Amino acid sequence: MKLIIGLGNPESKYAGTRHNLGFKVLDELAKKLNLVDWSAETRFKSELIKAPEILLVKPQTYVNNSGMAVKLLTTYYKLPATNVIVIHDELDLPLGKIKVRLGGAAAGHHGVESVINILGTDQFIRVRLGIGNLRTQSGEHKGQSISAEKFVLEPFIHSEKPQVKHMIKQALKALDLLLEKGLESAQNQFN
């Protein structure tokens, strides 16, 4: 079984923000697979959809504490970290760019850092979704200084939405490749 974990914040006020791309990708994956019923599982601190061979997971712990939910699930299902796929936003990638990789540093992403710290390893797969660098984004902050914490909690601006929609479709393709052909195939296409 593979755990496919989208990082995001649980409150509705965060639904359209950059930090909630992981949740958005999982919602689209669930639609694609005709899976509609997310169930709140308090013992796992998550919303889940169980399907053959995969478990879709939206941790309800807020992004920065995502590792708690991941640990509860990997322990319960007796899964190694290599069976975990984490989908998350990435400041260090241009808007719309996707990279798939196994392991590596958290690069300042507190949700990924939480998963690494609580699992005690970085050996899980990441689908990294580029949200752009706040210093180079077009729109209201161009040329201005804004904290990363504020930037990731903002919604995408209107002109970014077509790129975001395309990126989500590409993320679904990356997940298909990961599940059907493995890490190497996904990395070859999305790196």
19 as an active site residue: the answer is yes
For tokens 């949200």, name the residue: 131
Burial class (CB in 10 A: 0-12, 13-18, 19+), 37: exposed
Residue among 74, 71, 48 nearest 60 (CA): 48
C-alpha span between 149 and 161 (Å, rounded): 20
What sign results for the dihedral spanned by CA atoms 3, 175, 14, 153? Answer: positive
C-alpha span between 174 and 190 (Å, rounded): 7
State the number of CA atoms in the 13 A half-sphere of 139 facing the CB: 17
Report DSSP letters for 125-186, one per residue.
EEEEEE---TTT--STTTTS---HHHHHTSBPPGGGHHHHHHHHHHHHHHHHHHHHT-HHHH
DSSP β-ladder status, 84-90 and 2-6: parallel
- Give the active site residues: 19
